[in-house]
A and B are shown apart, each in its own frame.
Chain A
């Protein structure tokens, strides 16, 4: 045993022992542990194999910057790959597995790759796997993916639930350490609406591992008191376990809260994760600073860790990462760790200091080797010693853990996510946050303030200034008292000289210092190029530990300042966020809304099969006992409508009511045909063009009173037409005196079609609906027997005698039931949208299958609906241009297969007999097709070049998708009742 649990101390709850497992091995930890601290307590520092070379890797950090300790937590569908053990909260029954090793962590066959590493330098993939290109997808990529590895996503359905929530505040504080807590306290006391978010499960940040007292009490006690006060303030919301991952326009922040990632048995009432969208008037970054690793030979050996992490494990978790720890440092932080560990009774093997002289105090009796460098490490699965070089002499320092400290990098990612670049500070020897305006400010260590008193003071001062700015009166408080402090200092050391083995810069992506040199030599020295060429900083940790060092090394090699090298671009997300959390509730029935017709229950009662049409569920057909295929049902419905009568739910059509003295003029400009003189009590078919002259939508216009109209649109474009009308009335013609509103949801609308339609309807309608009293295209109010008022329209989409009856939505089912009852003696049937489609196809009526955005009114045979008299309407000018009126345009025709047994499918193209399929030879396309039960064979509507001149011609229907060719005869698109006698009967 090298690493172990200290006998006392730390903020873990030693009375609550938790069992968990790692790679199947049962282990125990305490409540308050992270998985990482519990693993270290069990002497399990080795946690994974590296991405490329399969080198053994151990826990490096104690937070979200961790590059190595990525594990899979959970099992089966609830597996979470690539979870950082350093932030995963321990819970009873947690199961964790290491990744990217085979057959086991200790013996990994992939490690032979390391022996070939001289051939696997930066850019190796690009150079080796370039040719032949076709092998990339089939061979190289799968191979590389198998070898290079992270955890595996599971294929089972994710059983977790997720949600999103909005939040609004005056001040968002990101980070709950000394600066963040003081800022939240200051703002909260002043009355601001405050949200404090911290990625840790316990608020306090560095206070939880701080050894200095505050106001005479341990720092963590101060943190707990601050949290208790904040919890009691109604204007403050605390969000622990919440990572603020993005800063977006208008000071909107994205954050993900791990609501119950840390519980063994999640509650069904709560989501696993919740994404917050936080609208903040002001925000304060109090995210602290990241300790930088040192880049030295063999620095990736398990047991080599961040010095600050060693302190955290000892102070907060009561865990020693080793029994004899060596420190390699370039500044005072290394000495601080040595003192922390020494105070806990952990032996310090030596302090290796890269600097020649320093005033920092080492613990009594600890040897300090100054002006020295670590050039290599010893050990295999665990470090056993450091090779230290000083003045040309090497010595081996035996140890079982190493703390490295290379200075500090403020965590400023959020401040740089909207385009502003970090700024190099020579004084602090690091990049600091750029000035990004008043909305987002930086406090504490994130602002380059490294003392405890400085952080507390900076947080309070920044919050106080924000409170005043927003018109709140800050309460003037005395800052908490801290002891004497000296500002931590360090002297930048980008690359420890004399490395005898690989000196890693980016642990997670296995990038070492020489890779950066190679990138520079091969012309990829620009920081953005070097990143991509070496993949430094491109792993899931996004180079939190490595980026500053990579910049420093590049600067050193190029002989310039890091300021001249600059940084790569910062983008959300700060830490990875699961797709589930980003999707939130938008899955399954919550993925998109479902719209249901007021007649849905009527259709369901009558056995409808439903089909999704946009958001709507529409009745597609109504199968009856004995019918085995949908075609049998549809054919029966069609024949029954033609012979007797049928009813169909058409409630989904868009319905818009217009009012006003200019309503007629408005409609006249909106439709291509004339609307001005439409008489009251009449309906008219209307065609809308787009401004480019192509057909937009069709529908009906009914004049209910002189200044009162009802417009219907197709189901598909109900929303689009409404917006189009709003655009025209608000933007194009704001002075027309009109008002309109959608009444789509107000009315249940029922089509009653067939030669017996009138006989059925007359039984339930009080008014006279004879052909004389209510002729074709009549529209008006009717009273149903029983007193209900409805609207009746004599319009037909089937070519049969037909009515559309609209009744207030809630009464739809009752009225439809009544019609079915009244129609029983006339053999009425319900029909769905499939039969509706066959009926309109037999009648040659175009719909959106024909109006596909490339079709002019004349193409569709509706040229007469483009008024030549009107001075203006939407689409008038461009519909007259040459290309839209040319004689060889494709025109709507009908098609009949020559062999009546053959079928035609929509999407097929048309070719002259004997011609090869090519764009040049293309004669047109089939837009809709179906089996016509009336004619007993397939029919189709198609667009054919100069089609109206070619009736009788034979044409090849070429259907490459189904690999079939059918000979068809071109004919008039109206297959049934071309004289319209039935419709007008």
Chain B
């Protein structure tokens, strides 16, 4: 776990200012999608060793959901992106 996160809006901040919501790679299925797709979206989570995308909300700062790309093994943070920017870039 990182001690510090560099918020793209607020700068370097201690992790206590953030609240972690979990996997940021999930895409909310269409309402008409299959039960399986919805089941996967709501219940199934990978537990990767290595790089992962997570939503960290900067609750004590700008309150933006950030997509933190970090390594669960080395704890290195590779990138931090605004959640809305990430969502748009990934075509949601």
Q: Enumerate chain A interface residues (CB-CB to B < 8 A).
A: 166, 248-250, 252, 277, 279, 418, 691-692, 723, 726-727, 730-732, 734-735, 871-872, 876-878, 881
Contact = CB atoms under 8 A, between A and B. Distances in A.
B29 interface: yes
B92 A734 contact: yes
A731 B31 contact: no
A726 B2 contact: no
Interface in B43-92: 43, 55, 57, 59, 63-65, 75, 77, 82-84, 87-88, 92
Given A691-B42, A731-B55, A249 B84 contact: no
B42 A248 contact: no
B83 A249 contact: no
Interface residues of B, number: 33
Contacts of A166: 14
B38 A726 contact: no
Interface string B10-42: 001010000101001000110101010011011
Contacts of A876: 31
B38 A877 contact: yes
A691 B39 CA distance: 10
A248 B92 CA distance: 36
Contacts of A279: 4, 12
A857 to B, nearest CB: 17
A249 B31 contact: no
Contacts of B77: 250
B3 A250 contact: yes
B4 A731 contact: no
Given A691-B42, A727-B21, A248 B3 contact: yes
Contacts of A726: 57, 63-65
Given A692-B42, A877-B29, A250 B4 contact: yes
8 contacts: A250-B2, A418-B75, A726-B65, A731-B55, A731-B65, A731-B87, A732-B87, A734-B83
Contacts of B87: 730-732, 734
A868 B48 CA distance: 38
Contacts of B4: 249-250, 252, 279
From DSSP, what is the main secondary structure of chain B's interface residues?
Answer: mixed
Contact of B28 (A418, A730, A732): A732
From DSSP, what is the main secondary structure of chain A's interface residues?
Answer: mixed
B41 to A, nearest CB: 8
Contacts of B3: 248-250, 252
A710 to B, nearest CB: 19
Interface of B: 1-4, 12, 14, 19, 21, 24, 28-29, 31, 33, 35, 38-39, 41-43, 55, 57, 59, 63-65, 75, 77, 82-84, 87-88, 92
A427 B30 CA distance: 65
A249 B65 contact: no
Nearest to B55: A731
Given A249-B4, A731-B55, 12 more contacts: A250-B2, A250-B3, A277-B14, A723-B59, A727-B21, A727-B55, A727-B57, A727-B65, A730-B65, A730-B87, A735-B88, A877-B38
Contact of B33 (A735, A871, A877): A877
A249 B2 contact: yes
Nearest to A877: B38
Contact of A734 (B29, B59, B63, B88): B88
A279 B31 CA distance: 46
B19 A723 contact: yes
Contact of B75 (A249, A692, A877): A249
A563 to B, nearest CB: 24
A249 B15 CA distance: 11
Nearest to A168: B12
Contacts of B31: 871-872, 876-877
A730 B37 CA distance: 22
A730 B84 CA distance: 5
A572 to B, nearest CB: 12
A871 B35 CA distance: 16
B33 A723 contact: no
A279 B15 CA distance: 13
Contacts of A692: 42-43
Nearest to B34: A877
Given A249-B75, A692-B42, A730 B83 contact: yes
A277 B12 CA distance: 14
A337 B26 CA distance: 66
B64 A730 contact: yes
Contacts of B35: 877, 881
Contacts of A249: 1-4, 75
A919 to B, nearest CB: 23
